Amino acid sequence: MKKVLLVLSLCLMLCGCNNKEKDVYDIMKENEHIIIDVRTEEEYDESHIEDAINIPYDELDEDIDLDKDKIIFVYCKSGGRSEIAFKTLTDLGYTVYDLGAFSNIDLPKER
């Protein structure tokens, strides 16, 4: 029940505000999280969000071992693969937010 309330409140925060990045920053500051770049290794090596790990979307399955107590953020190049990753991880019981397209994310990036 606690997880459901947390998910609902976080969804309302993300959907109810015009400044999505501000909300993402707040969630990241207040909660333990994992950022997953679901693009290919080559795309990740070109540039990625600071502290993100690379797990291509097609490698996300029931064998993945991530901390279910952490909020997971996913992103890709244009939003298609992150949408698939969002659904996959949500179906596996994780709390997930889809950040969408890499170029639209206003978070620090590494090369």
pLDDT for 4 equals: 37
**Of 12-16, 51-55, 61-65, which gets the smallest average pLDDT?**
12-16
User: For the segment 71-93, what is each residue's pLDDT rounded down to a tens digit?
Assistant: 999 999 999 999 999 999 999 99
Residue with the bigger pLDDT between 31 and 33: it is: 33
pLDDT level of residue 22 (50, 70, 90 thresholds):
low
| 28 has a pLDDT exceeding 70 | yes
- For residue 72, the cross-strand partners are 34, 96
| Alpha-carbon span 34 to 85, nearest angstrom | 13
| Alpha-carbon span 87 to 97, nearest angstrom | 10
Q: What's the predicted TM-score (pTM) here?
A: 0.78
15 as an active site residue: the answer is no
Domains, in order of start, for the chain: 2-110 (3.40.250.10)
Pairing mode, strands 53-54 and 33-37: parallel
In three-state secondary structure terms, 83 is helix
Catalytic residue among 11, 15, 17, 76, which? 76
| 11 has a pLDDT exceeding 80 | no
Sequential DSSP letters for 5-63: HHHHHHHHHHHS-S-HHHHHHHHHHHS-EEEEE-S-HHHHHH-EETT-EE--GGG-STT
